[in-house]
């Protein structure tokens, strides 16, 4: 026995070490089925469409508060300590809704520019300045988002859920912060 909880490990993942062997047992299959059922119940995705490689934050469409609720239920059902996941939560999921500061960044500058331009040049209708300011601002934001080198969310797969359920703790390995 070489696991921390005194039980034999159900399987070893190839993602932990390149040369490890994956051992599949009946207990592994039952655990996978339970994970599939929980994901299906929580998201509405049919079990037949799920695979160990299904990504929660991509194919399954889990994000924000929905992800938080799912992981609360997952931790309770499988007895998984999610402390490590909580530390890396923002690498996987976006926040729900829009903050006040984000709203101010998105809507404030074009509104201010439209107001100033409509006051300076009264030969053009105010709505034209407002519309033009919004179009120009949204194009600028789109270009800025495309040019910056921010990585997208780190995928979480059903395989990650399965490994954590088998180990009773979150075991996904994260690269060190730059």
Q: Is it the case that residue 62 has pLDDT exceeding 60?
A: yes
Element (H, E) at 140: helix 126-147
Give strand pairing partners of 169: 81
Our separate counts of H helices and E strands in the chain read 7, 0
- Report the sign of the C-alpha dihedral through residues 11, 17, 91, 43, in that order: negative
How confident is the model at residue 90, as a pLDDT? 82
Lowest mean pLDDT among 15-24, 69-78, 122-131: 15-24
Sequence-distant (6+) residues with CB within 8 A of 81 are 75, 168, 169, 170
Between 78 and 148, the more confident residue is: 78
Query: Tokens 């060190």 map to which residue?
Result: 176
Q: Is it the case that residue 161 has pLDDT exceeding 70?
A: yes
Q: Residue 51: which pLDDT band, with cuts at 50, 70 and 90?
A: very high
Instruction: Calculate the average pLDDT of the chain.
Output: 80
Domains present along the chain, CATH in parentheses: 1-94+154-178 (1.10.1200.10), 100-147 (no CATH)
DSSP state of 62: -
The reported pTM is 0.61
Phi, psi of 9 (to 5 degrees): -65, 145
- Report the sign of the C-alpha dihedral through residues 28, 31, 37, 38, in that order: negative
How confident is the model at residue 23, as a pLDDT? 55
Lowest mean pLDDT among 11-15, 87-91, 99-103, 172-176: 11-15
How confident is the model at residue 177, as a pLDDT? 67
């Amino acid at each position: 026995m070489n696991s921390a909880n005194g039980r034999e490990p159900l399987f070893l993942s190839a993602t932990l070490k390149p040369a490890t062997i994956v051992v599949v047992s009946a207990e592994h299959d039952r655990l996978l089925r339970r994970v599939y059922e929980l994901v299906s119940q929580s998201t509405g995705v049919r079990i037949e469409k799920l695979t160990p490689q299904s990504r929660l934050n991509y194919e399954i469409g889990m994000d924000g508060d929905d992800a938080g609720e799912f992981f609360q239920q997952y931790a309770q059902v499988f007895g998984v300590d999610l402390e490590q996941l909580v530390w890396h939560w923002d690498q996987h999921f976006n926040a729900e809704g829009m903050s006040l500061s984000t709203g101010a960044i998105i809507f404030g500058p074009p509104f201010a520019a439209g107001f100033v331009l409509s006051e300076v040049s009264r030969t053009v209708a105010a709505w034209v300045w407002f519309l033009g300011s919004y179009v120009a601002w949204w194009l600028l934001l789109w270009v800025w988002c495309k040019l910056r080198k921010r990585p997208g969310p780190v995928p979480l797969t059903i395989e990650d859920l399965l490994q954590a359920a088998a180990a009773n703790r979150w075991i996904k390995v994260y690269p060190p912060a730059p």
